[in-house]
Chains A and B, each alone.
Chain A
């Protein structure tokens, strides 16, 4: 059974960089059938897609966040990561990592449990 687990600091200061890692177990991140993505959800609000990456390193970003976001993959560790720079209180959210089907529907079929990141001094 595929599992995804987010890890990283739960508290980040304003103007600093948020860094999260997603560890994939029970399957290979190097599959050619899937993308790997980050989605966030501010408290009480809707889901927002942040970015996706393919195992080869091809990246795709939400245009509204693109200037501040970097997604990367480490196939040797079966992990992918997110960096969000110059954070503000508006970046406070639960951050999810997820697997995205890559050919027929581009839907997210496996999700991590999510990790709450609070931006505060």
Chain B
């Protein structure tokens, strides 16, 4: 099973700042099969990024994804008040196996 380790656990930033979230896999993941989600309290997760770097429909361009192999990054270029939330990465592998990371909370500093 591929384990996804997200860091940091919590990121304390101010609106307007840049957020960089990391997702590290225990084995190589196909870039095609790496996604990022945003979850706000009491809500279902929302798809942000798929294929490691493609934005989902309606997602602002301040969100970007990058990476390959075992290291992937979600970047929020300038934090808006509505961006403070928990972010999860997810991978799909063979067997089939699908796992989520433990999440990174982006909180207001």
List residues of A (64-121) whose CB comes within 8 Å of B's CBs. 96, 98, 101, 104-109, 111-114
Q: How far is the CB of B76 from chain A (nearest CB, A)?
A: 19
Known contacts: A47-B88, A63-B1. The answer to whether A107 contacts B50 by CB under 8 A is: yes
Is B100 within 8 A of A105, CB to CB?
Answer: no
Is B33 within 8 A of A113, CB to CB?
Answer: no
Cβ–Cβ < 8 Å partners of B100 in chain A: 39, 46-49
Name the residue on A nearest B36 (C-beta): A107
Is B44 within 8 A of A106, CB to CB?
Answer: no
Known contacts: A104-B51, A107-B35, A109-B56. The answer to whether A60 contacts B96 by CB under 8 A is: yes
Binary contact readout B42-66 vs A (1 if CB under 8 angstroms, 0 otherwise): 0111110011000010000000000
Partner of A49, one of B33, B46, B99, B102: B99
Is A112 within 8 A of B44, CB to CB?
Answer: yes
Q: Using a Cβ–Cβ cut-off of 8 Å, how many residues does chain B contribute to the interface with A?
A: 25
**Does B98 lie at the interface of the complex (its beta carbon under 8 Å from any beta carbon of A)?**
yes
Binary contact readout B86-109 vs A (1 if CB under 8 angstroms, 0 otherwise): 001010100111111111000000
Is B88 within 8 A of A109, CB to CB?
Answer: no
Is A46 within 8 A of B88, CB to CB?
Answer: yes
Cβ–Cβ < 8 Å partners of B98 in chain A: 49, 52, 62, 106
Interface size class of chain A, counting residues whose CB lies under 8 Å from the partner chain: 20 to 34
Is A106 within 8 A of B92, CB to CB?
Answer: yes
Is A108 within 8 A of B45, CB to CB?
Answer: yes
Name the residue on A nearest B91 (C-beta): A106
Cβ–Cβ < 8 Å partners of B51 in chain A: 104-105
Partner of A105, one of B1, B32, B97, B103: B32
Q: For A47, A104, A105, A109, which residue has the most chain B Cβ atoms within 10 angstroms?
A: A105
CA distance A78 to B102 in the complex (A): 32
A residues whose Cβ falls under 8 Å from a Cβ of B: 39, 46-49, 52, 60, 62-63, 96, 98, 101, 104-109, 111-114
